[in-house]
A and B are shown apart, each in its own frame.
Chain A
């Protein structure tokens, strides 16, 4: 089990009132090709910066910081409906002390850090190798694909 760093050790789910999802009704459902095209667009510097803060440790005590990350994802992909947004983010962890990767579970609003010997949840585990590769800053995990994001914001898509 990874180290849980949000809302205190006992809480695992984000309180419902903190939901920042925009109303989905005024978003048009993108076709598969359009969605892929949209997801493949280069990520902004602002978004990249927001994601690198995952490792800064400020989310340990600050649930608003996690909300800000989730808001950053929604802001980066505004046309994408909530169910098509990434399920989570997996990135290389620089905490040291045996910690290898950290994950952000969007739905649960949880940030967790994992050691070398610890397994990630099944959906996120498939992004581990990519997240560990120095060429990628982090990996966005979708239901049926992974998007590896480079430091430059360029993305590569892998269908899983």
Chain B
């Protein structure tokens, strides 16, 4: 019997069920992938948020560290300041008593209320208590002079001169002037000048300039001193490099008054102008002129209240001479000043150091005549100069100040940017005056569209996706024909993966479009704000820069002759000529 083959009608129900299950499985897989993708996006968002928070935290941490450092610096500076002042008091405290006695003896003698024996005794006791101090024998000489004891006066005077010739000569010149002994005062002044080297002067010379500027030495004394200052100036100016030194010195002195910009000024330019450093420096440089004008006009404004009598004026000079200019104390005084600045700047060490750097030269033991004049003009509180001396010093240095100002101004103008490059994200442009808003906005728009197109063009299916589609189709079809469930499943999975990738691609493109849409919304707003600040900056700079010419005219109008007091004698004060 021949074998009989019979094909029964196919029951495809199972296949359909399985295919349906497979379809359900793929759908579940796609949903699961969607969920995973959603979670990945969520994680990415969280990472981004965390990064922002971290950045914020880092900023807060740095701010905290900064504040903490400042607080510690401030606390330390306050403690050290007390210590330095105590040391000054302990080490040099006995000098204070001697100092107080100087003017005390003179004033007591004026009104004849203290017996000469008491004065003599007190001064001799101080002589014993303050060995090596120049003022102690000076005081003995003073009391001996008042009690008409010439041999003792001469001996004490010799000792004082031996201990510190400069200060003693100036001291006796002032005392003789107080007693209206013009000849003696002139002789001491001559001696004082003969000891000086205009390139290596002691700081106390400022007391003499003060005395001259305040009219203490009278017309002859003033003439004599002016002549001497002229000789010094000629001598110094013949030195090689003097002019350059003077210009540098004044440039530094003027620059020391440069203001800083407020932290809230020009927030957009700070962030988006690539040459903000240059713009900041130019504006600070230009704002300096107004600061300087205010500084100089405040010095020259109003009358200087003159002391009513010659003795009061001399007493003030004597007080200053004996108090502020002892070189032994200088290192401590320097420390004290630095610590005071640190306290004033609330612990901000760089700011305190910047201020101290500008004043540092005023703490040098030896200075040139011109440096001394510069210090008196620009750092009067450190140099120990009065307003009258400041006026005199500025008037005397006028031409150098103008020359330094001219160089400073030209340097600042040369550094002022003509074109301002801007960078917002990936867009870059340049503006000159902020008036080209339309062109720049159009440039932003076209840049963003180009960038968007470039970015979208990179979002394409990978070759593996295409391979999955083709191979999946072929394998799936083969599986279907041969009823190989496994191949059918693999084939459908490949095709399914292709469509899933494609849908993700569209999603990514959508995100890119959204991102650029946001940029198209935000960037023009930022650009407009930047351009508005460019306009403001230029107005600000131009207005500040124009002050340079006003300052120049003001400085040129200052004359030496106008700025000498004639307090204690009638007649016109003419210093140099």
Which residues of A are at the interface with B, using a C-beta cutoff of 8 A?
33, 36-37, 116, 126-130, 132-133, 135-136, 146, 148, 154, 156-158, 160
Nearest to B549 among chain A residues (CB) is A135
Interchain nearest-CB distance for B416 vs A (Å):
5
Contact A157 B418 (CB under 8 A): no
A36, A146, A148, A154 — most chain B CB neighbours (10 Å): A148
Most-contacted residue by chain A among B244, B410, B415, B416 (CB, 10 A)? B410
Decide if B406 touches A130 in the complex (CB within 8 Å).
Answer: no
Q: Which residues of chain B have C-beta atoms less than 8 A from A37's C-beta? A: 243
Is there contact, CB below 8 Å, between A130 and B418? no
Contacts A128-B418, A129-B415, A132-B418; A158 near B243 (Cβ below 8 A):
no
Partner of B410, one of A36, A126, A132, A157: A157
Q: How many angstroms from the CA of A74 to the CA of B409 in the assembled complex? A: 27
Given contacts A116-B432, A135-B549, contact A148 B410 (CB under 8 A): yes
Partner of B411, one of A127, A128, A158: A158
Q: Known: A33-B240, A37-B243. Is A129-B418 also a contact (CB below 8 A)?
A: yes
Q: Are A154 and B410 in contact (CB under 8 A)?
A: no
Distance between B214 CB and nearest chain A CB, rounded to angstroms? 34
Instruction: Tell whether B413 is near chain A: CB-to-CB under 8 Å.
Output: yes
A148–B548 Cα distance when bound, in Å, is 15
A160→B407 CA distance, assembly (Å): 12
Q: Quick one: which of A33, A128, A156 contacts B409, CB cutoff 8 A? A: A156
Residues of A within 8 A of B128 (CB): none
B414 touches A158 (CB 8 A): yes
Closest Cβ of chain A: how far from B429's Cβ, in Å? Answer: 14
The size class of the interface chain B forms with chain A is 10 to 19
Query: Whole-angstrom distance from the CB of A147 to the nearest CB of chain B?
Result: 9
CB atoms of B418 and A36 under 8 A apart: no
CA distance A156 to B410 in the complex (A): 6
Interface residues of B (CB under 8 A from A): 240-241, 243-244, 406-407, 409-411, 413-418, 432, 548-549
A133 touches B413 (CB 8 A): yes
Q: Hey, which chain A residues are within 8 Å of B410, CB to CB?
A: 130, 136, 146, 148, 156-158
State A36–B240 Cα separation when bound (angstroms): 12
A129 x B413 contact (CB < 8 A): yes
* Complex interface: chain A residues within 8 A of B244 (CB): 33, 36
Q: List 30 A-B contacts (CB under 8 A).
A: A33-B240, A33-B241, A33-B243, A33-B244, A36-B244, A116-B432, A127-B414, A128-B418, A129-B413, A129-B415, A129-B416, A129-B417, A130-B410, A130-B414, A132-B418, A135-B549, A146-B410, A146-B414, A148-B410, A148-B413, A156-B406, A156-B407, A156-B409, A156-B410, A157-B407, A157-B410, A158-B410, A158-B411, A158-B414, A160-B414
CB-CB under 8 A from B548, the residues of chain A are 135
Q: Which residues of A contact B407 (CB under 8 A)?
A: 156-158
Chain A, Cβ-Cβ closest to B417: A129
The residue on B at minimum CB distance from A37 is B243
- Among residues of A, the one whose C-beta sits closest to the C-beta of B404 is A156
In the bound assembly, the distance between CA atoms of A130 and B545 in angstroms comes to 12
Contacts of A157 in B (CB 8 A): 407, 410
Q: Are B406 and A154 in contact (CB under 8 A)?
A: yes
Across-interface contacts of A127 in B (CB, < 8 A) = 414
> Using Cβ atoms and an 8 Å threshold, which residues of chain B touch A116?
432
Rounded to whole Å, the gap between the CB of A50 and the closest CB of chain B is: 22
A126 CB, nearest partner CB in chain B, Å: 7
Q: Which of A33, A126, A154 contacts B414 (CB 8 A)?
A: A126
List the A side residues contacting B240 at CB < 8 Å. 33
Point out the residues of chain B lying under 8 angstroms from A146, CB to CB. 410, 414
Instruction: Tell me how far the C-beta of B208 lies from the nearest C-beta in chain A, rounded to whole angstroms.
Output: 31
Q: Contacts of A130 on B, CB cut-off 8 Å?
A: 410, 413-414
Besides the known contacts A33-B244, A129-B413, A135-B413, 20 further A-B residue pairs in the complex with CB atoms under 8 A apart: A33-B241, A36-B244, A116-B432, A129-B415, A129-B416, A129-B418, A130-B410, A130-B414, A132-B418, A136-B410, A146-B414, A148-B413, A156-B409, A156-B410, A157-B407, A157-B410, A158-B407, A158-B411, A158-B414, A160-B414
Task: Name the 10 nearest CB pairs between A and B, nearest first.
Answer: A156-B410, A156-B406, A148-B410, A130-B414, A158-B411, A158-B414, A133-B413, A156-B407, A158-B410, A129-B416
CA distance A158 to B407 in the complex (A): 6
Report the separation of the CA atoms of residues A133 and B406 in the bound assembly, to the nearest whole angstrom. 13
